[in-house]
Amino acid sequence: GAGVSQSPSNKVTEKGKDVELRCDPISGHTALYWYRQSLGQGLEFLIYFQGNSAPDKSGLPSDRFSAERTGGSVSTLTIQRTQQEDSAVYLCASSENNSPLHFGNGTRLTVT
């Protein structure tokens, strides 16, 4: 079946602009996670959704970062006023019924 889909696969933006990253989880998966992968920082947890609510937002690095999920499915991660240190690969994962996380291929964000 279809896996976790993320779009765009690559995004180049100018410093100060806002960006939106999209994640389509595996159908029926109620849990959705966002992670950030950057050189020297490994994989950092950002936020976790169960359904449409986010019980754990502890990894969001600043108030420029926000995320929402609608219909228990698609999620968008928004970064406002992007900075160069936001450059990274943003990964989305989903799971259901205590199964292991399934990851998408990520969005590579480059802030110039």
Partner 1 sequence: GNSVTQMEGPVTLSEEAFLTINCTYTATGYPSLFWYVQYPGEGLQLLLKATKADDKGSNKGFEATYRKETTSFHLEKGSVQVSDSAVYFCALSEVPGGKLIFGQGTELSVKP
Q: Which residue type, as a one-letter code, is found at position 6? A: Q
Residues near 6 by beta carbon (within 8 Å), at least 6 away in sequence: 21, 22, 23, 24, 90, 91, 92, 104, 105, 106, 107
Answer yes or no whether residue 27 interacts with partner 1 by CB under 8 A.
no
Answer yes or no whether residue 102 interacts with partner 1 by CB under 8 A.
yes
- The encoded tokens of residue 87 equal 């450059």
Q: Which of 65, 82, 106, 109 binds partner 1 (CB under 8 A)?
A: 106
Burial of 77 (0-12, 13-18, 19+ CB in 10 A): buried
- Give the nearest distance from C-beta 93 to partner 1 in angstroms: 8
Answer yes or no whether residue 49 interacts with partner 1 by CB under 8 A.
no
**Cβ proximity to partner 1, 80 vs 95, nearer residue:** 95
Interacting residues toward partner 1 by CB under 8 A? 31, 33, 42-43, 45, 48, 56, 91, 93, 95-106
